[in-house]
Structure 1
């Protein structure tokens, strides 16, 4: 498989490189904006302050910087545990979204003003166990929502990735506590084979008396959730975003160009910064990732490492006198 194999299989991956996006996920935010006008803000005043949680590698921050930062007075803050390559017009915070210090630093960058828009495209490392993955994603979404309650202005918008599973109705019910409108959106660039979607929450309106607190769980049993089953359960509208005539994310497209010119491979816009697999990549380049261990490289000798056969137990026949001496004679 050559370098162009993924360009054939994933047209949005190819288009992202050709258009200078750091990841194909940029198209997801662009298609969400086309459907919901996310950057117009409440009352069509326009979004001037936005927060990108779990931002690395920075494709959503790129979209925010172009849509908001281009207005001159716009501010974009990107937060992630991992280091991220700098972006023009984006202030970066390498921190934990579950810590109050991170929320305070965001507000400090906004000079004490709350944000108009908070987005989160983060996802845990999937295990393939759907129940576990859905639970971890739900916890990540609630962590993003928790910090959003510290930095989001009334009437603001919150967009976060969600895994549509069996218990997703509980997440919708929790989101409805804080937002007047909650929808589930599936962008065209999101693969149909994936369970991912995006919760688009508009009209931030926290309950009366609610005080944001990152030191304890976001929601407890004191909140009156709507029924999760039966005719009164919350039904969240499901919306597909993107033109139906646009590219299909699950289809393979040829590399043949319309004008007959030869296709040229485009490298990624921004290589990863200090990825967790960097050491494995270095060992692979040096041919040491799957290197065979030779006996001279092993501190334990080969003889000692070889499993030794178990010695046969020695048999000893007891004499009558030995039986009496050991108290094993049961005769009176």
Structure 2
């Protein structure tokens, strides 16, 4: 979380620091849980693209610290290093690599996960069609691992960028889950394309056994799953184009709570207060840049 003047007056930003969350995004998962009761009976969960760890903190506080700890197994996966969180086993790895799946299953003792979530997103370019496409590919990458590790009836939650063709993703997910819902937590700024897809009731495809292969694209991975044609956009001129799904949209969070798009004047002595980050960067890019400068490479 940065320290711009807007951030200083964003109450979600400040409350995250005051409450010990690593990022304001923790409130998004908490509000989704309030709406959908995501953590009910969850004992094994996976947080994909987890760094810096705010969603993993939520899993720790809402599951690990509120259940019989010896029964709970929580895993966080990210390519970036992440500082430890109580009750969370951290794996620094690629979510599309078979060894990552193998490691998760080892931690779970061969048992499937009850819940998988992903708050990952690419660095946005501002070109909405491009950003939406890249994000959808990231979701499909997370979905690959999810289909290999999630139990039947389990839940998958991921960040999406809503755009012109997001209904194609809804349609594909609807083949794999009983309910597909687009949710917008109040902590997510209304001016942002960001929303969250809540997929409830995983239903594995008959006669299809998902298997991760780092040499396969997401398109090749889902071949045989019969979840819809990946080339829909190129085939819209066909006489009978594939049906496209519009997911239900739900706004999450109390309407009386803080408005994420508003900035609030700080009172009294807090007016110039600057709160330190909860978690300092574990491998900030500027360190690599400084080292390259010392070596005369830049």
The TM-score normalised by the length of structure 1 is 0.77
> Do the aligned residues in 2 keep the contact of 1:17 with 1:266 (CA within 8 Å)?
yes
The 2-side partners of 1:38 and 1:50 are apart by: 11
- C-alpha change, 1:224 and 1:38, in structure 2 (3 Å) is closer
- C-alpha change, 1:256 and 1:145, in structure 2 (3 Å) is same
Structure 2: runs of 5 or more not aligned? none
The 2-side partners of 1:118 and 1:222 are apart by: 20
Q: How do 1:63-142 and structure 2 match up within 5 A? A: 63-70=58-65, 71=67, 72=69, 73-142=71-140
**1:40-82 per-position Cα deviation (integer Å, ceiling 9, x unaligned):** 1xxxxx1001000000000000000111111112111000001
RMSD: 2.5
Q: How do 1:141-156 and structure 2 match up within 5 A? A: 141-156=139-154
Aligned to 1:36: 36
Equivalent of 2:42, from 36, 42, 47?
47
SS in 2 for 1:12: helix
Aligned to 1:300: none
> Do the aligned residues in 1 keep the contact of 2:183 with 2:252 (CA within 8 Å)?
yes
Range 129-138 or range 226-235, more displaced: 226-235
Aligned to 1:13: 13
The 2-side partners of 1:262 and 1:142 are apart by: 44
Equivalent of 1:220, from 194, 218, 223?
223
1:273 aligns with 2:282: yes
The 2-side partners of 1:133 and 1:4 are apart by: 24
The TM-score normalised by the length of structure 2 is 0.86
- C-alpha change, 1:254 and 1:113, in structure 2 (3 Å) is same
> Do the aligned residues in 2 keep the contact of 1:142 with 1:218 (CA within 8 Å)?
no
- C-alpha change, 1:251 and 1:119, in structure 2 (3 Å) is same
Structure 1: runs of 5 or more not aligned? 41-45, 290-296, 298-332
The 2-side partners of 1:84 and 1:224 are apart by: 34
The CA deviation at 1:254 is 1.0
- C-alpha change, 1:179 and 1:197, in structure 2 (3 Å) is same
SS in 1 for 2:285: coil
Q: How do 1:251-262 and structure 2 match up within 5 A? A: 251-256=262-267
| Greater gyration radius | 1
The 2-side partners of 1:134 and 1:4 are apart by: 26
The 2-side partners of 1:98 and 1:189 are apart by: 29
The CA deviation at 1:128 is 1.4
